[in-house]
Chains A and B, each alone.
Chain A
Amino acid sequence: MTTFAFTLEAFTDIDFWIGVGILAGTYTIFALGLQINVGFTGIVNFGQAGFMAIGAYTMGILVVKAGWSFWLALPAATAVAMAAGLLIGLPSLRLRADYFAIVTIAFAEIVRYVAQNARELTGGNQGLLGYDDAWADVSFWILDRLDAIGMGDQFLLPLLLVTWITALVLIAVLSVVQRTPWGRVLRAIREDEDAARALGKNTFAYKLQSLMIGAALGALAGYFLALNLAFVSPESFEPLFTFIGYAVLILGGLASYAGVALGAIVLWTLLEATRFLDLPLAAEKVAALRFMLVGLLLILLMAYRPQGILGKRREMVLGD
């Protein structure tokens, strides 16, 4: 019988929580894009990791290869991600949902593929680094301020703060926008697109807008990922991460933007906590276990509680 120990002290380790917090915040932003797509417009975007990659790589390439300022690269890369959303959406948003899912996942894989193979531009599998000098300056400035409360040596704390401030602002903005007539049209499209069209709504245009906003949010998440890791490589953008995003989305429920934050915190706490299980397994196998759990979580949630923690059964339209 194998024995394993569980170090509870891990939970008081502030580094652990900062790490979890940054991942949770990044994935909140990532999954907010999925929420507007799936939860509020009804389009099944399986390519969110691709938009994340486009955002992160474009920013990195502009800064490192083209010498742009980091602060200018951010909006430019976001625009590129949105353009990609437009490009993918135009021919495929009129397809049925499962075909659209396939197209988006193919798109994300193509992006990753290009990142792996266009070595001169993206660094290939070795990745891209050196774009975060401007951020480092800001980070140190924040750390100086934090010195006043004795937290000046928590190196990643500024990133945590900025990530979460961004996430919370986005949640607030999206929640407000959702209650507008524009948001109402999106919800109607999710409910029944033909009904919305019969009432004079150009549903295609709205779906495109939703996809582009989702792409922008994916790109934004990409920047935080890039700053967290300090380098960008293709393996950070495997389809696995899109589906971790879906696990976050479903956990928090398809009904609210705030729920996404809850789902992200819960999932990443669980995933990172598995690091502290002292299992007699090699590291790669522990990783396999973690992702197996993600898969199981998706299956069980979809089978038994598709509305997630915060969703209401009535609000949920996963069936036809």
Chain B
Amino acid sequence: MEAGAPRSGIAGSLTRRALAWPRANPAQAAGGLLLAAMLALAIAYGIQPLAQRTINGVVSGSYFALGAVGLTLVYGTLKLVNFAHGDMLTFGAYVAFLFNVTIGLPIVVAALCAIAVTAALGVASDRVMWRPMRAKRAGLLQLLLMAIGLAFVIRNAIQLVAGTAPRRLDVDVTTSIAFLGLRIGRTELIAVVVGLATLAGVVLMLRHTLLGKQMRALSDNFDLAEVTGIDTDRIVVATWVFAAGLAGLAGVLLVASIGSMTINIGFFVLLSLFAAVILGGIGNAYGALVGGMVIGLAQEWSTLVLDARWKVAVGFAILIAVLVVRPSGIFGRERTL
């Protein structure tokens, strides 16, 4: 009897190969799926609506990607599923509000402050909470619940200070640019450019700088990296600076695109970020980038088919689908023992 094959013969071996191909080439299979979806939607609903949704999808995809890259970097290096990551986005948005609206600085300065302060929050959370837990070799449930606890603390501390009324940043939300029958808000366009540029920078940093290589080494095998003399503590701090900083930026871009913020926006986005991270392969920064874009696009494209209020559910559905079909995601390796 052949190796576990349910069917035999030529038809059988062709079927087996057809089924095995996506498994062996997940990136191409996913790309193919995306292309097929685009084609189907274009045919069914017209190119212009699809193109408009695609633009919207790139906008949301860019801040999803920023958030997802941070989330995956923290997981990769520290094996921590940071449930508080969404609230770091919220934190960044509110810090930007503080500098932009309350103090009155220009949005660019406020955004930079938001990035810096959120990065500081990330590092602080590591020094105060995560590092002692690493030393104690805390287990999974402990870490998960602590992350949840931190999420509550951040979110409610913001509410304590800022209240529940929705806030807006001092940005231009009305001007939009039209071309080829499509429109994009001026602020949104800036947000996309900033987001994509930052992502490109992060990718280059990971690939070409020493720091980036060390971060990837740690992500691959923490203990081994320690033994080889890499200053793991420094790398951990750097990871948090990047992850939290990117989260802060993502929060600002998110609010700039949507227009208003409440204390829940971060958590609301968190599950889409998980979807992006897992779709791309957890621990893989490039995967998170791609994942974020795909989730953004998928959610916007779905508005062609479903009512807009179900948009977010699409992200969840993708999350569950990925976990059922291929938990290691597009770029992740299949589980080793």
Interface residues of A (CB under 8 A from B): 38, 44, 46, 91-92, 95-99, 101-103, 105-107, 109-110, 113-114, 117, 239-240, 243, 246, 250, 281-282, 284-285, 288-289, 291-292, 294-299, 302-303, 306, 317-320
Contacts and interface: CB of A to CB of B under 8 A. Distances in A.
A117 B309 contact: yes
Given A298-B145, A318-B139, A319-B142, A106 B320 contact: yes
Contacts of A306: 142
Nearest to B129: A299
Contacts of A250: 145
Contact of B323 (A99, A239, A281): A99
A302 B157 contact: no
B156 A289 contact: yes
Nearest to B272: A106
Nearest to B143: A302
B244 interface: no
A44 B164 contact: no
Contacts of A285: 159-160, 163
Contacts of B137: 319
Interface in B223-280: 267, 271, 274, 278
Contact of B140 (A92, A97, A109): A97
B104 interface: no
B295 to A, nearest CB: 13
A229 to B, nearest CB: 20
A106 B146 contact: no
B139 A298 contact: no
Nearest to A94: B327
A239 B268 CA distance: 11
Contacts of A281: 160
B310 interface: yes
A299 B323 contact: no
A295 B150 contact: yes
A97 B271 CA distance: 16
B316 interface: yes
Given A102-B319, A298-B149, 18 more contacts: A38-B141, A46-B144, A91-B323, A103-B320, A103-B323, A113-B310, A113-B312, A281-B160, A282-B163, A288-B157, A297-B149, A298-B148, A302-B138, A302-B145, A303-B133, A303-B142, A318-B141, A318-B142
Given A97-B140, A98-B81, A303-B132, A105 B271 contact: yes
B180 interface: no
Contacts of A288: 156-157, 159-160
B313 interface: yes
A102 B274 contact: yes
Contact of A292 (B129, B141, B152, B327): B152
A78 to B, nearest CB: 24
Given A106-B316, A296-B149, A92 B129 contact: no
A317 B309 CA distance: 42
Contacts of B133: 303
B309 to A, nearest CB: 5
B37 interface: no
B323 A302 contact: no
Nearest to B271: A106
B153 A95 contact: no
Contacts of A113: 310, 312-313, 316
A109 B310 CA distance: 12
Contacts of A317: 139
B132 A292 contact: no
B81 A243 contact: no
Contacts of B142: 302-303, 306, 318-319
A305 to B, nearest CB: 11
Contacts of B140: 44, 97-98, 318, 320
A281 B162 CA distance: 12
Interface string B151-183: 111011101100110000000000000000000
B324 interface: yes
Contacts of B155: 291
A49 B151 CA distance: 17
Contact of A320 (B139, B145, B312): B139
Contacts of A282: 163
Nearest to A92: B323
Nearest to A114: B313
A284 B155 CA distance: 13
Interface in B294-309: 307, 309
B68 to A, nearest CB: 13
Contacts of A46: 144
A95 B327 contact: yes
A42 B211 CA distance: 38
